Structure 1
Amino acid sequence: MVEQTRQETSVEVAKRASDYLRGTLLEEMENASPKFDGDSEQLLKFHGVYAQDNRDVRRERSLAGEELEHIFMTRVVVPGGFLTSEQWLALDAASDTVADGTIRLTTRQAIQYHGTIKSGLQSLARQLDEVLMTSFGGCGDVVRNVVMCPDLQIPEADPYIVEVANAIAERFRPTTTAHWEIFVDGQRAASREVVNEHSFYGDTYLPRKFKIAIAHPHENCVDVFAQDLGMIPGSHPSLGEGFTFVVGGGLGRNYAHEHTFARLGEVLGFVPRANVEEVIAAVVDAYKDLGDRTDRKRARLKYVLADAGLEAFRAEIHQRLGYELADALPLPANFDRSDHLGWHGHDDGTWRVGVRVAAGRIRDDETSQTRTALRKIAQALPVKFFLTPQQDIIIDGVSADERPFVDQLLRDASVREAETLGSIERTALACPALPTCGQALTESERVLGSVVTQFESALSARGLERRPVALRMTGCPNGCARPAVAEIGIVGRTKSTYDIYVGGSRQGDRLATLFQEKVKLADLADAVAPLFDAWQSDGMVDEAFGDFANRWSSK
């Protein structure tokens, strides 16, 4: 029997025909329609833009025979999460002029704008360009925003790691000038110099997205094992400074496809500082060639590793490099995640303060005026900002004399001090979900506060209110808030129910396991209550909830 050749997906066909991500985007940008058609929605993602609609009014408009309320999400690339005061002020201004008045921080240290209409996309791109920022590469089948621990960027840290991160961001950005032509300049070049796209991208780019994160050697706020490629800094006894490379992580799943699953990365080897870009290019190039282009649900690098095995993939990388990687350094023993909140001093006498941002949404509302406070600080002081993988923000470079001024501005804006936050509230994460995300099955960000209250009340009733628990929530199994490595992961299952996972580790090196399926929103904490009872009575001294839940479930 002759084996049938599997057909590549329509997205692959669209990428190949797009003239390096141009397609008909510019022509559609100029027409009166509030949306883009056909393949253009896929190409938009490479430019950091997702086509969406307001799902709160979708049914009402549909029943009335009206056009959907078409809106767009734009994701701004922020390598390492670093922003100047000038850039922050530009981002703040844009949230009013072309978005919904809020700034959304992501778990990958990027900025998202929601509620932009089609006619505002070019204006936003131009405002970003004026402060040397872009959304290009924020989404799409390319190497995404490079994530790194904020503690690697403090004055005491070795600057070479920041240099490496910036070099990676520059090296793996697509070379096509399509974004400039379509969104910034606003016209297709009549004649343009042919710029060859990177060989590891080609004319169809990657099978799916590719995520890179650089961890601190002593804490794992970036969830380095959940990445396509994770990097842990260290000093090799014979090769000097470099990184342990971890490959093949990824947390997204799909309920309709049983062959999809969450997976933690595996150790590939040690890479000296001078070889970092070369080895990443080999990994990306191998993924370009080996990734599944016939099934986007199973196209991530993690499935290449799962199917072929680590040793086969390592041999593939060695063949492409022409040499073998050194054995990796031992993984860190103390690798608990840090939330980076509160005031911390630097050796040079300056200070930084980590500010909690509930669900990553910076706004002014009846509870606090966080957006106004950050704006006033950026206007008054030449500080730096760092976005964290916990959806929070750090204000850095505050002098000792300026600290009272910053403190007062934050207090006046009713911004909560780190010490006043609840044991779950302090680190809880959520994806945006409804009403904007087209993948969401149910609520996440909008109900996170009530879910945190549920669980903190359950802990308090058992005298456990001072015990920290990492809770993460998503409206679907794609896993944007990384619930698969949380101590408690809450994942949208249907319009009105969630699956509960427990047992992830604080080090991010163990997946949570399914605890209970299809639980209603109001019953989430009650479902986990028996496990809290067991933790209270049978848990060891200082045993983390995730460790206890894992031990309990393995009995």
Structure 2
Amino acid sequence: MTAPLSPLEQLKADSRLLRGTIQEGLADPLTGAISEDDNKLLKFHGSYQQDDRDLRDERRKQKLEPAYSFMIRARLAGGVVSPAQWLAFDDLARQYAGRGLRITTRQTFQWHGVIKRNLKPTLRAINDALATTIAACGDVNRQVVCSVNPWLSNTHAEIAQWAQKLSDYFLPKTRAYHEIWLDGEKVEFNAAEPEAEPLYGPTYLPRKFKIGIAVPPFNDVDVFAQDVGLIAIVNNGKLEGFNLSIGGGMGASHGDATTYPRVGSVVGFVTPEQVIAAVESVMILQRDLGNRDERRYARLKYTIDRIGLTAFVEKLQALAGFTLAPAREFTFQSNHDHYGWFKGDNDLWHLGLHVESGRLWDADTQAQNTQRLWQTGLREIAKIHTGEFLLTCNQNVVIANVKNADRKRINALIKKHGLNTGETFSALRQHSIACVALPTCGLAMAESERYLPELLPKMEALLDKHGLRNTPITLRLSGCPNGCSRPYLAEIALVGRAPGRYDLRLGANAQGSRLNRIYAENIDEPQILATLDELLGRYAAERASNEGFGDFIARTQEVTA
């Protein structure tokens, strides 16, 4: 006898391939919300319903419903954005969203604060700009991230094509997206074909699924945080294939040792011709063997640990129809971004810009006593730029493929609008990221994005005290333990417990291949700064030659699992 489906799995099965009653909910003028069930399905379409938590109590007192709005996320394989798309996305942010555009830790854009009546016009406009939001969220393969190292431009184009191929191949086949948001329009759509999900099936995957491609020697996508990581093996300018890593994932729950972050396991090498079959086999195994009873244990990492890595790889090879070759040698130097101008092999230039927490908007930056007109400045650059923009997994942006003759004009616009390449910042600031957290994320337990500008100057004072201002150290903030900012791979991480209180985690390495561990639980800012003051002092005095802060902590300090 077949066991009954869990409520969420039953919801997906009954959704008519992700339709639910979303259209009816959008048409209801009496509320700014949609139903809880439809919000779960809406994620597959690239959007979440949220509310402003800063206003909750006051609106409750006034007997008003919460200040509902929606977050929308684009699906931009490899983070590549044309100038025309940038201008269209910027226009949407100014017309419909709050606080500008936001670069996410998955190399794409999010729009926050879109109210219900503007949800469909915004999604339609994103599609009119030749992008989409489908499968940017939900229990499917999501945004495919890819390394954006401009000085590897001879092979970057080919590798970026693989990001696009994988993204396109694993898109859901449902027509629901086009019916709801595009009024049924889709050029390549054949209405005579029966509707089905040949890969995903009617209940899709047990949980989200993430793919990332890294190009050594840089691991700027944190490839070991992905369900499937592909590590490009390039020799003499030729892409030979990819090392395959499986089972990475960042999410966890406070106080529950049965949930945990995990770095991916490198299990072999695949040629370009084998890539799609290998990744598809992993996804099929997760579809069929993943936990559908308890979502806490539904990610691929738990499936692999439950079955065993060796047994999982045997099943993968049997399904794919070939044996994985031994993994090739590779070396990662760091998981950081790089700033300033770099010349590519095609004689074009690339400019890496630092964007604090990925937030592109015009606002005073009080910590630096300056004004940064990020949204306006990049809009003006997009009007004259003839190359591309590349979004990074560390929430920054690269102005790519710039002609030498255009550099002067771009530099002038950067100076005029107070933008910064990051080269004058402390190394810690250069390598810091934060999730959105409060006030819009419903999972946030503490501040993150809004706290980072307050915390950084205080930490920089400690760095200056110990002569470490230019020493690369990775800092990541997360408002909760779910791991959107990949805090478990940071040399220093703060993971929110409650307002103003965090777990301090230390000891990851700069290559993104080792998890950090809890050093102190549930502590406030004075305790955080006092602890780091002591440890940074010891690091400055006792570190070995070229030893990173995370490596020093792992070598000298006791940390818990």
TM-score, normalization: structure 2? Answer: 0.94
Partner Cα distance (1:153, 1:126) in 2:
36
Q: Which residue of 1 aligns with 2:322?
A: 323
Gap regions ≥5 residues in structure 2: 365-370
Q: Which residue of 2 aligns with 1:216?
A: 215
How far is the alpha carbon of 1:382 from its aligned partner?
Answer: 1.5
C-alpha contact (below 8 Å) 1:245/1:270 kept by paired residues: yes
C-alpha contact (below 8 Å) 2:243/2:267 kept by paired residues: yes
SS of equivalent to 1:293: coil
Q: Which residue of 2 aligns with 1:308?
A: 307
Q: Which residue of 2 aligns with 1:514?
A: 518
Please list the CA deviations of residues 371-408 of structure 1 after superposition, one character each: whole Å capped at 9, or x if unmatched: 11111111122221000111000111211111111001
SS of equivalent to 1:185: coil
SS of equivalent to 1:28: helix
Distance 1:149 1:453, change over 3 A: same
How far is the alpha carbon of 1:131 from its aligned partner?
Answer: 1.3
Q: Which residue of 2 aligns with 1:173?
A: 171
Q: Which residue of 2 aligns with 1:402?
A: 406
Is 1:529 the counterpart of 2:526? The answer is no
Q: Which residue of 1 aligns with 2:19?
A: 22
Partner Cα distance (2:67, 2:239) in 1:
56
Partner Cα distance (1:496, 1:377) in 2:
38
Partner Cα distance (1:113, 1:92) in 2:
10
SS of equivalent to 1:446: coil
Give the number of aligned pairs. Answer: 548
SS of equivalent to 2:505: strand
C-alpha contact (below 8 Å) 1:245/1:271 kept by paired residues: yes
Distance 1:334 1:37, change over 3 A: closer
How far is the alpha carbon of 1:335 from its aligned partner?
Answer: 3.1
Residues 118-517 of structure 1 aligned to structure 2 (within 5 Å):
118-151=116-149, 155-157=153-155, 159-185=157-183, 192-234=191-233, 241-255=240-254, 257-330=256-329, 332-366=330-364, 367-517=371-521
C-alpha contact (below 8 Å) 2:175/2:195 kept by paired residues: no
Distance 1:543 1:235, change over 3 A: closer
Q: Match of 1:548, as an amino acid?
A: F
Please list the CA deviations of residues 290-321 of structure 1 after superposition, one character each: whole Å capped at 9, or x if unmatched: 10000011100000111121101001112212
Partner Cα distance (1:391, 1:232) in 2:
21
Partner Cα distance (1:351, 1:319) in 2:
45
Q: Match of 2:384, as an amino acid?
A: A
C-alpha contact (below 8 Å) 1:456/1:465 kept by paired residues: yes
Q: Which residue of 1 aligns with 2:368?
A: none
Distance 1:61 1:75, change over 3 A: same
C-alpha contact (below 8 Å) 2:174/2:197 kept by paired residues: no
C-alpha contact (below 8 Å) 1:34/1:118 kept by paired residues: yes
Distance 1:195 1:527, change over 3 A: farther
C-alpha contact (below 8 Å) 1:152/1:161 kept by paired residues: no
How far is the alpha carbon of 1:334 from its aligned partner?
Answer: 3.7
Q: Match of 1:220, as an amino acid?
A: N
Distance 1:159 1:38, change over 3 A: closer
Distance 1:236 1:542, change over 3 A: closer
C-alpha contact (below 8 Å) 2:148/2:156 kept by paired residues: no
How far is the alpha carbon of 1:196 from its aligned partner?
Answer: 4.2
C-alpha contact (below 8 Å) 1:174/1:197 kept by paired residues: no
Q: Which residue of 1 aligns with 2:7?
A: 10
Q: Match of 1:104, as an amino acid?
A: R
C-alpha contact (below 8 Å) 1:176/1:195 kept by paired residues: no
TM-score, normalization: structure 1? Answer: 0.95
Is 1:81 the counterpart of 2:79? The answer is yes
Partner Cα distance (2:314, 2:210) in 1:
22
Partner Cα distance (2:337, 2:36) in 1:
42
Sequence identity percentage? 37
Partner Cα distance (1:240, 1:454) in 2:
44
How far is the alpha carbon of 1:235 from its aligned partner?
Answer: 5.5
SS of equivalent to 2:401: strand
How far is the alpha carbon of 1:7 from its aligned partner?
Answer: 5.4
Please list the CA deviations of residues 224-278 of structure 1 after superposition, one character each: whole Å capped at 9, or x if unmatched: 11110000011599x9821110000101101253310011110121111011111
C-alpha contact (below 8 Å) 2:78/2:147 kept by paired residues: yes
C-alpha contact (below 8 Å) 2:52/2:66 kept by paired residues: yes
Partner Cα distance (2:53, 2:90) in 1:
25
Q: Which residue of 2 aligns with 1:40?
A: 38
Partner Cα distance (1:345, 1:443) in 2:
38
Partner Cα distance (2:332, 2:466) in 1:
29
Distance 1:393 1:158, change over 3 A: closer
RMSD over aligned CA atoms reads: 2.1
Partner Cα distance (2:150, 2:420) in 1:
25
Q: Which residue of 1 aligns with 2:92?
A: 94
Partner Cα distance (2:225, 2:153) in 1:
28
SS of equivalent to 2:69: strand
Q: Match of 1:25, as an amino acid?
A: I
Distance 1:101 1:38, change over 3 A: closer
Deviates more, 1:82-91 or 1:191-200: 191-200
Q: Match of 1:498, as an amino acid?
A: Y
Residues 536-551 of structure 1 aligned to structure 2 (within 5 Å):
536-551=540-555
Q: Match of 1:272, as an amino acid?
A: T
Deviates more, 1:248-257 or 1:519-528: 519-528
How far is the alpha carbon of 1:475 from its aligned partner?
Answer: 0.2
Partner Cα distance (1:317, 1:187) in 2:
37
Please list the CA deviations of residues 433-477 of structure 1 after superposition, one character each: whole Å capped at 9, or x if unmatched: 000000000100001011111211111112222212100000000
How far is the alpha carbon of 1:540 from its aligned partner?
Answer: 1.0
Q: Match of 1:471, as an amino acid?
A: L
Aligned partner (choices 28, 31, 37) of residue 31 of structure 1 = 28
Please list the CA deviations of residues 338-384 of structure 1 after superposition, one character each: whole Å capped at 9, or x if unmatched: 41211111233221101110011000112200111111111122221
Q: Match of 2:47, as an amino acid?
A: V
Partner Cα distance (1:463, 1:154) in 2:
33
Partner Cα distance (2:535, 2:234) in 1:
41
Partner Cα distance (1:470, 1:158) in 2:
25
Q: Match of 1:382, as an amino acid?
A: T
Partner Cα distance (1:197, 1:441) in 2:
39
Distance 1:153 1:59, change over 3 A: farther
